[in-house]
Each structure stands twice: as structure tokens, then as C-alpha cells.
Structure 1
Amino acid sequence: MSVAVAFAGMKRVAGVVFKAGCPDCRASFELGARDLRLAIGATSKTTFYSFTCPQCGVAVRKPAGERVVELLIGGGVRTLRLHSTV
């Protein structure tokens, strides 16, 4: 069965939701893919995701390992690939 056949007749697909937490105000919440950004760098230190806490408004940046990167990309999070000048 093709993807087109499997989703034929569907009018809307529910968006992916990610659970997140704010290290500043300690709130827990859910974010949609449009609320997150992913930056992929040359090393684990330069690969991270970020969002703005909907509770306190602080900008949050967290490291992203390989599995987190896969999940975020698969969920439709916008991705920026960082280039190094070596």
C-alpha cells in the first residue's frame, strides 16, 4: 500500500507534540514542531535544540544527541545545519 492510498481521504493530520521543560521556571509543557528549532553542528557540543518557554518567556537551549536529532527531524522541526571552517 502506498502512502497516498493509506492517507487518501484524510483532511488533516494531527501535528507531532514534544514534551519539554524549562530549567528556569521548572514548568513542563508540550510544544509543536513550529515552536522548536534544531541546530546541527560538527560536534555534540554544537548540536542543540532551542525554544522559548511559554510560561516565563526565557530562551532555552538544550543539547541534542543523535536520537533527539532523529526525533525532531522526523517530527518536522526546522533545522539549521552549521558549517565549520576547517
Structure 2
Amino acid sequence: MTARVGTMSVDGTPISRADLARIEAEERLHAEQQKSAVRVVAAAATDADECRMLLSMLGLTPDVVSAARGDMTSPAVKRPRKRRAAA
């Protein structure tokens, strides 16, 4: 998303650690927003063709869709099973 080599910007000026941290935080936020958009579109679409069309219109690429799908199936997202009380 950003063009940086090491700690130098495109125009050759140095990028501070605070700026690098901010850039990385913005990139993580953007990725999370994209994954959220994929989930909303998938939930609202009436069929797979409509889902593909809407994702394409939003510019959400297959790699973003795969990342959102991976988040949904990861063990961290699954809820723990409820244990039954001993009778």
C-alpha cells in the first residue's frame, strides 16, 4: 500500500519510527475494514453471482476474500463448546 524502502520515503527523506508505526497501523486497519466489507457483502448477497459482482464493484480482490474467509474459519474465531453439567 505504501512505497517505502527501509526507512526512506519515495522522495528520499527519512521516515521516523513513529511514522512507520502509524503507517503499519493504518495498513492493518485498512485490511480489517476490507475483511469486514467482504463479510457484509457475503451476508447480504442473494447468491454467489451477486456476491462476486458486489465484491468486484468494491474492488475487493480474491486475496482479500481469502483472507476474510480464513479469519472466519480460524480456531480463534470459533466459540468454545458448552459443557453439560453432570447429572
Normalising by structure 2, we get a TM-score of 0.27
Normalising by structure 1, we get a TM-score of 0.27
Whose strand proportion is higher, 1 or 2? 1
Whose helix proportion is higher, 1 or 2? 2
- Higher RCO (C-alpha under 8 Å, 6+ residues apart): 1
**Larger Rg, first or second structure (1 or 2):** 2
